[in-house]
Amino acid sequence: MKYSILVILSVLLFTSCAKLLDEKPQSIAAEQFYNNAAEVQAGLNAIYTPIRAGGTMGALYQVQQEIYTEYMYGRGSHAPLNDYAGLDNTNITRIAGMWAAFYEAIRNANIVIQKTPAGKNLSEEDKNKFLAEARFMRALLYFHLVRNWAGVPIRKEHNMDSLNVPRSSREAVYQLITEDLLFAEAHLPDAGRLVGAPSKWAAKTVLTDVYMNVNDYQKARDKALEVIQSGKFSLVNVMVSADFDKLFGPDIITTPEEIFYLKFSRQPSGQGFQYPMYAHYPGAGYYPPGGYYTLYSDAVNNTFAKNWDKNDLRYDYNWYVQTFGLGPGTILNKKFSDRTTTTAAGNDYPMYRYADLLLFYAECDSRVNNGPTTDALEKLNMIHRRAYGKNPMVADAAVDFKMADYGSLQAFVDRVVQERAYEDCGEGKHWLDLKRLGIAKSVIKAMKGITMADRHLLWPIPTTEYNYNKAIDPIKDQNPGY
């Protein structure tokens, strides 16, 4: 049985206040709360609950991000996403639910940030440690908001009860994210308080990603290098494709590659990862409770899937053939599978793992040096060797990329981005890379032959926000095209 932060503490600490946390998170901000470590940790755990739901990062957030990629397609009510014309009404409703969940989690973080400094039975060290976790999570949530909606209302601990909060600029949101992460980096422990809680290395990794998104590649490279040089993480060895279950399987508690994961478990009820339910076909054997097969690819007609080297173990691990009326080349993604469950999937969501960090470093180091370096090439090759069942730490002429093949910065960055697409297939990360690099429209045109509408690059501010928030004009402040 797999236990972690969001299983054990949800049972031990949330029993008495679960209804309050679900319905009125502000109800836990009473004088008698946040006075000792157990009470603050209960508040911290409440931050994770909204984003682990099936409507957010428990399933539908990744589904939405994956369907946008050049290698995936949506089915059923997600089929309109294949047009790259923006969101239809059904999907607008879905992302409005994600917006609400992100802000609910931000509110729960703000409560911890507001109340913890006054805790009567807390040391200053504990206060800073708990504040650092809350600020890490607040930064992470705003990071997802800003990449999907651009500028958003900034609600912090001092204005979290205000309805009328204007939409801030993208730059202001990134400033808050950076400030929160730098505080988290300074005060988070070397290891998270429990499996699934962030460490200072997680803060450095997210800072790397943030700096890349604002084109500060020197800072991004430096943060990534600090994580690498710490020696805290390593790639999981793989010899055959099934060995990737040692990284993504439902019974894994943690691995040497884990930097920051959202944790899930089959038991107790309501703690499972719902993403496999959307990924799999009923009766295929990869998720016995059934499935919606909401997203799929095409091994014959999709260039990305067709050209993926079949000797790459990641291809066999990721895909299985499953026809359901869309042609013999239809394939479904099986990265997140739980073949023995009768209830819910026990897989965790790998938000940041060491493979991501190594590829971040490879890109940033090459950009800082205006071309690929030996060190950047080595980090890329570590990932590539593992993909072919080789020891990541040992050079192998049979699979290693050669410096001579990537003489320019752009050629090398393109190779890194493609390698990350293979590595993170099914994880909901590649679309955000394409947007960060400004190549989403050209890639979709080249791979799928579709001209993407500008409005497809951002999600609309939900009506549920501007109907109540009078500081936002539903026309002037709305994202283009909506």
Helix (H, G, I), strand (E, B) or coil at 229: helix
Q: Compute the average pLDDT of residues 121-130.
A: 96
DSSP single-letter state for residue 84 = -
The answer to whether residue 477 sits within a structural domain is no
Strand partners, 352: 260
pLDDT(404) > 90: yes
The answer to whether residue 106 sits within a structural domain is yes
Domain holding 110, by residue range, is 1-188
Q: What is the pLDDT of residues 312-328, one digit of tens each?
A: 999 999 999 999 999 99
Q: What is the pLDDT of residues 222-251, one digit of tens each?
A: 999 999 999 999 999 999 999 999 999 999
pLDDT, residue 219, reads 98
Q: What is the pLDDT of residues 27-79, one digit of tens each?
A: 444 456 899 999 999 999 999 999 999 999 999 999 999 999 999 999 999 99
Q: What is the pLDDT of residues 389-399, one digit of tens each?
A: 999 999 999 99
- Closest C-alpha to 331, from 317, 345, 342, 344: 317
177 with 291, same domain: the answer is no
pLDDT, residue 210, reads 98
The answer to whether residue 380 sits within a structural domain is yes
pLDDT, residue 122, reads 94
315 with 419, same domain: the answer is no
pLDDT, residue 407, reads 84
288 with 244, same domain: the answer is no
Decide: pTM greater than 0.75: yes
Q: Distances in Å between the alpha carbon of 447 and those of 136, 331, 444?
A: 37, 17, 5
Instruction: Give me the chain's average pLDDT, please.
Output: 93
The CA distance from 73 to 404, in Å, is 36
111 with 244, same domain: the answer is no
The answer to whether residue 342 sits within a structural domain is no
The CA distance from 451 to 466, in Å, is 30
Asked if residue 116 lies in contact with residue 36, where contact means CB atoms within 8 angstroms, the answer is no
181 with 85, same domain: the answer is yes
| Residue 430, domain CATH | 1.25.40.900
Q: What is the pLDDT of residues 181-230, one digit of tens each?
A: 999 999 999 999 999 999 999 999 999 999 999 999 999 999 999 999 99
Q: What is the pLDDT of residues 149-184, one digit of tens each?
A: 999 999 999 999 899 999 999 999 999 999 999 999
Q: What is the pLDDT of residues 329-379, one digit of tens each?
A: 999 999 999 999 999 999 999 999 999 999 999 999 999 999 999 999 999
Buried b (16+ CB within 10 A) or exposed e, 161-186: eeeebebbebeebbebbbebbebbbe
**10 against 433, higher pLDDT:** 433
**What percentage of the chain reaches a pLDDT higher than 70?**
93
55 with 92, same domain: the answer is yes
pLDDT, residue 4, reads 57
Secondary element (H or E) of residue 180: helix 170-187
156 with 104, same domain: the answer is yes
pLDDT, residue 2, reads 65
The answer to whether residue 48 sits within a structural domain is yes
Residues in CB range of 174: below 8 A, 6 or more apart: 146, 210, 213, 214
pLDDT, residue 10, reads 47
291 with 152, same domain: the answer is no
> Cα(first)–Cα(last) distance of the chain, in Å?
47
| Residue 28, domain CATH | 1.25.40.890
38 with 124, same domain: the answer is yes
91 with 51, same domain: the answer is yes
The answer to whether residue 466 sits within a structural domain is no
235 with 383, same domain: the answer is yes
**Sheet containing strand 330-333, strands side by side:** 73-74, 295-298, 330-333, 319-321
The CA distance from 232 to 224, in Å, is 12
pLDDT, residue 259, reads 98
Q: Where do the H-state alpha helices sit in 280-406?
A: 303-307, 313-318, 354-368, 374-387
91 with 145, same domain: the answer is yes
Asked if residue 427 lies in contact with residue 347, where contact means CB atoms within 8 angstroms, the answer is no
How many structural domains compose the chain? 3
Residues in CB range of 34: below 8 A, 6 or more apart: 40, 43, 112, 115, 116, 118, 119
The answer to whether residue 478 sits within a structural domain is no
The CA distance from 1 to 353, in Å, is 23
The CA distance from 81 to 117, in Å, is 45
Burial class, 299, CB count within 10 angstroms (exposed 0-12 / middle 13-18 / buried 19+): middle
Q: What is the pLDDT of residues 4-38, one digit of tens each?
A: 555 444 443 333 333 223 333 444 444 568 999 99
The answer to whether residue 118 sits within a structural domain is yes
